[in-house]
Amino acid sequence: MYRSYSYLEEGRDFQAFKFPPEVGRVPSTVVSTTPNQEERVARLMREHLMISLHDHPTLVPENIFELPELIRQGRDFTAYDGLRASRLHVVFDNMLDGTSMITSKSGWKWDDVLYDLGMRLSDFAHQEYVRVVHRVSDIEAARSHGQIGFVMSVEGAMPIENELDRVDILYGFGVRLMGLVYSEGNALGGGLKESRDGGLTKFGRQVVRRMNQLGMAIDVSHTGGRTALDAIECSETPIFVTHAGARALWDTPRMKPDCVIKALAEKGGVFGIEAAPHTTLTANHPRHLLESYMEHFEYVANLVGIDHVAFGPDTLYGDHAGLHQVFAKAMSIDSAQTGPSFPEVPYVDGLENPSEFPNIIRWLVVHGYSDADIAKAAGENIMRVLQKVWVP
């Protein structure tokens, strides 16, 4: 079984780290099903596209405080065994996002992002399970060959600075989805951590137009509300909120207000529900677990319809809550979670890493969702948008 960078000699060509198990790191709860229900789950996951709209299927060190040292050498380690266990057909991987701190403690530097992309592509070139997706047809090709389609994504556009053509360069490196803003405001618009959001700038509108021209999907998960609404209006094609929740259920900047969710759906977009620790909480479930996650799913589905909701868990392999502690300032986590108090958890029970995606399907089966509605939320809704945005 291939391991990341195994074409090199560990300890000689790159620094070795001890990683946690890719499956079963913690005693995360499996949704209880009957044998017939579990058989249905297996059939649904076999017959229909299973897509994670936002994840980080990579390994972090067992000692989470070694993560900055790992990042500085520029190698993110893909959890190939974990991805197999996920039974996903497609995963949108958002790379090192705001933690890409190879040359700067502030992250988001252009050279670092290209370094990150190039290193991952080099690793993928030495194995056959992950297939990098460049167009819609690659998704079915990956599935028919028993591979997982891998969509390279960048969570925020800060690295392009004021260089419009850098969007084309990222596209050339394989990026097929990009967030306009990652929490901190940039040259494109306002981020969710800002107290004032002036909306999409003129340059931001140029970037949206260029992304439309290229066929690169747009994400507004981390933008402020005004910037999100402007981007939805400005884009000629539907866009995504790849990973967020409903502010009506949990009043923090990281969650989206109803007006954004409705505007997104009215333009044909899709809203992915996230599960990063301490995000999609609710008054009914202030302790973060699968139930609170699915409460956000049902709220959005009831608000705008099952055709406009999907899953973007935003999970990884290792101590995600610990990662937030390591990078709290750099990733603006404290600003994003300003709001009601909540009990901290070491992990999100039931959705701790990408391998637990089947728990989402189990929950939907147990709660009486039809095959058609499960298929929509699990992948068809995302595909509908990609067919309007990407090259066929």
Please give, one letter per residue, the 3-state secondary structure of 4-66.
CCCCCCECCCECCCCCCCCCCCCCCCCCCCCHHHHHHHHHHHHHCCCEEEEECCEECCCCHHH
Q: Is residue 22 part of a domain?
A: no
Amino acid present at 369:
Y
Token reading at 237: 């094609």
Q: Look at the chain and count its residues.
A: 392
What is the predicted pLDDT for the residue at 237?
A: 98
- CATH number of the domain residue 251 falls in: 3.20.20.140
What is the predicted pLDDT for the residue at 359?
A: 98
Domain that holds residue 139: 35-389
Q: What is the pLDDT of residues 202-256, one digit of tens each?
A: 999 999 999 999 999 999 999 999 999 999 999 999 999 999 999 999 999 999 9
Q: Is residue 253 part of a domain?
A: yes
What is the predicted pLDDT for the residue at 67?
A: 94
End-to-end CA distance of the chain: 32
CA atoms within 13 A on the CB side of 366: 15
What is the predicted pLDDT for the residue at 99?
A: 87
The number of distinct structural domains making up the chain is 1
The whole-angstrom distance between residue 16's C-alpha and the CA centroid of its chain comes to: 27
Look at residues 219, 243, 80, 237 and name the one whose alpha carbon lies nearest to residue 154. Answer: 219
Q: How far is CA 242 from CA 14, 107, 200, 215, 322, in A?
A: 33, 21, 19, 17, 23
Q: Is residue 217 part of a domain?
A: yes
Q: Is residue 304 part of a domain?
A: yes
Amino acid present at 283:
A
Q: Is pLDDT of 338 > 80?
A: no
Extended beta strands in the chain, E state: 51-55, 58-59, 77-78, 90-93, 130-132, 148-154, 175-179, 217-219, 240-244, 270-273, 309-311
Q: Is residue 293 part of a domain?
A: yes
Which residue(s) pair with 272 in the sheet?
310
Q: Is residue 18 part of a domain?
A: no
What is the predicted pLDDT for the residue at 77?
A: 97
Cβ neighbours of residue 181 closer than 8 Å, sequence gap 6 or more: 156, 157, 158, 188, 189, 190, 191, 192, 220, 222, 223, 224, 227
Q: What percent of the chain has pLDDT over 70?
A: 98
Look at residues 229, 261, 262 and name the one whose alpha carbon lies nearest to residue 244. Answer: 261
What is the predicted pLDDT for the residue at 148?
A: 98
What is the predicted pLDDT for the residue at 111?
A: 95
CA–CA gap between residue 346 and residue 26 (Å, rounded): 9
Q: Is pLDDT of 49 > 80?
A: yes
Q: What is the mean predicted confidence (pLDDT) over 56-68?
A: 96
Q: What is the mean predicted confidence (pLDDT) over 262-274?
A: 98
Look at residues 214, 104, 209 and name the one whose alpha carbon lies nearest to residue 158. Answer: 104
Q: Is residue 3 part of a domain?
A: no
Phi and psi of 257, rounded to 5°?
-70, 160
Q: Is pLDDT of 266 > 70?
A: yes
Q: Is residue 385 part of a domain?
A: yes
Average pLDDT score, the chain: 96
Q: What is the mean predicted confidence (pLDDT) over 260-279?
A: 98
The model's confidence at residue 107, banded by pLDDT at 50, 70 and 90, is confident
CA–CA gap between residue 348 and residue 280 (Å, rounded): 10
Cβ neighbours of residue 308 closer than 8 Å, sequence gap 6 or more: 264, 265, 269, 270, 271, 300, 381
Can you give the pTM of this predicted structure?
A: 0.96
Give the torsion through C-alpha atoms of 113, 118, 121, 125, to 10 deg.
-170
> Which of 21-35, 100-114, 232-246, 279-293 has the lowest average pLDDT?
100-114
